[in-house]
């Protein structure tokens, strides 16, 4: 299985970049993983929120394929604890899914066109985090899920 995380905007903060690099390196031992950064829209001030979401969706969809299993990381999605998140990943591995794509949208959320192709919506928390921190939190949880699947000493129940 290959896992891809698609995000809008650059990693601007050094501490976030360092954390992301740490978990990208750790994930290499478990899975074929790709982080795809889509640039922020340059015309952001001249269009409204719905147009921004629509344009972001078009850019995101260019990075996906018809056979991808798409999961949106959305504040209104299903909340899972770390064990259940790892079980969810394991089920997809067992089902033979070849490409699992997680998407973190822009600051206005997701366009309906993305929600229509998504197979799942998952929330990382009821709290609101900035988009850079969400990337780091997600990567840590993905790493944690593989250590749980492999029964390694990282997660303590």
d(CA 132, CA 141): 15
Buried b (16+ CB within 10 A) or exposed e, 89-128: beebeeeebebbbbbbbbeebbbeebbebbeebbebeeee
Local confidence pLDDT in tens for the 157 residues of the chain: 999 999 998 888 999 999 999 999 999 999 999 999 999 877 656 788 899 999 999 999 999 999 999 999 999 999 999 999 999 999 999 999 999 999 999 888 999 999 999 999 999 999 988 888 999 999 999 999 999 999 999 888 7
Under 8 Å between Cβ of 35 and 7: yes
Q: Hey, where are the domains in the chain?
A: 2-149
CATH number of 2-149: 3.40.1280.10
The neighbouring-strand residues paired with 38 are 8
d(CA 4, CA 99): 8
């Amino acid at each position: 299985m290959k896992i891809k995380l698609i995000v809008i905007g650059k990693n601007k903060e050094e501490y976030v970049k360092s954390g992301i690099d740490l978990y990208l390196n750790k994930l290499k031992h478990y899975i074929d993983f790709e982080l795809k950064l889509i640039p922020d829209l340059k015309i952001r001030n001249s269009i409204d929120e719905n147009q921004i979401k629509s344009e972001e969706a078009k850019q995101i969809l260019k990075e996906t394929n018809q056979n991808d299993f798409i999961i949106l990381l959305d504040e209104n999605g299903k909340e899972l604890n770390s064990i259940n998140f790892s079980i969810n990943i394991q089920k997809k591995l067992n089902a033979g899914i070849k490409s699992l794509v997680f998407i973190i949208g822009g600051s206005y959320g997701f366009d309906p066109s993305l929600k229509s192709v998504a197979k799942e919506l998952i929330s990382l928390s009821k709290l609101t985090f900035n988009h850079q921190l969400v990337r780091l939190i997600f990567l840590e949880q993905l790493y944690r899920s593989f250590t749980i699947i492999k029964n390694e000493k990282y997660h303590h129940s």
